[in-house]
Amino acid sequence: MVIKTLSKYHIKKSVAFLSRLDQDWESLIKKVGICHLKISSDLSPYQSLLKTITYQQLHAKAAESIFQRFLSQFNGNLPQPRELLSANPIRIRESGFSQKKIETLLRIAEASTKKIIPTQIEINHLSDNEIIERLSSISGVGIWTVQMLLIFHLGRLDILPIDDLGIQKGYQALKKLDALPKPKVLLLAGEVWKPYRTIASWYLWRVNHIQIKD
């Protein structure tokens, strides 16, 4: 199985592909410019999950503040699984985490010790669906969280987070819909964006930051 990941070649090819879909996509891409999606290749899958959970459902500045306070409790580094499991939950809470997020972080650490979370070498050989099935088995880690890992850590090319509010709002604005599209509508629309749904998602996240022509 050949797994395609983000590269300058694939970005160029995907932008050309999406631009040819219709005038809406062509106009959007011209306004936004070339895709500059960056991946966090310096983090392990376990570390990437910890960071994604930290940022989940928070504004970037607030999440970064919590994340930095969390790191400061472990000498500025993300803790190893057993180190996190042995940490005082009260101290973790002082970083700014909700109780629910603390429980999820601890489950991620436990899953890592049980080899549920693959190593970087292992995950590179797993399909998108295999990764989603494996990681979403961890309580508190939903499909959206795994999709963020697939996009921003692994650079997988064909991921469409249909439950993401930013993408729903982006598609609503792009197509001038009266209401937010339901996930199943996005899933159907995304069929024509294959095999570059990650790049399509990146552009949809940016729709509301530009002015779409009538």
pLDDT digits (tens, 9 = 90+) for 139-183: 999 999 999 999 999 999 999 999 999 999 999 999 999 999 999
Annotated domain spans of the chain:
8-36+159-209, 45-152
Architecture of domain 45-152: Orthogonal Bundle (1.10)
3-state secondary structure at position 6: coil
Phi-psi region of 147 (alpha: psi -120 to 50; beta: other; left: phi over 0): alpha
Alpha-carbon Rg for the chain in angstroms: 18
Amino acid in the structure at residue 19: S
pTM of the model: 0.90
Could you tell me the CA-to-CA distances from 159 to 39, 59, 128 in Å, in that order? 14, 23, 8
3-state secondary structure at position 5: strand
Among the ranges given (35-44, 104-113, 163-172), the one the predictor scored with the smallest mean pLDDT? 35-44
pLDDT digits (tens, 9 = 90+) for 43-98: 899 999 999 999 887 788 899 999 999 999 999 999 999 999 999 988 899 999 99
DSSP 148-177: HHHHHTT-BSS---TT-HHHHHHHHHHTT-
Placement of tokens 């631009």 in the chain = 19
Question: Nearest Cα to 52, choosing from 142, 170, 157, 158?
Answer: 142
pLDDT digits (tens, 9 = 90+) for 10-29: 899 999 999 999 999 999 99
Cβ atoms of 57 and 148 closer than 8 Å: no
Residue 137 pLDDT more than 90?
yes
DSSP 36-76: -----TTS-HHHHHHHHHHHTTS-HHHHHHHHHHHHHTTTT
**How many other C-beta atoms lie within 10 A of the C-beta of residue 152?**
21
Give me the active site residues, please.
Answer: 164
Q: What is the model's pLDDT at position 2? A: 57
Cβ atoms of 32 and 120 closer than 8 Å: no
Fold of 8-36+159-209: Endonuclease Iii, domain 2 (1.10.1670)
Give CA–CA dist 169/150, Å, rounded. 21
Amino acid in the structure at residue 13: K
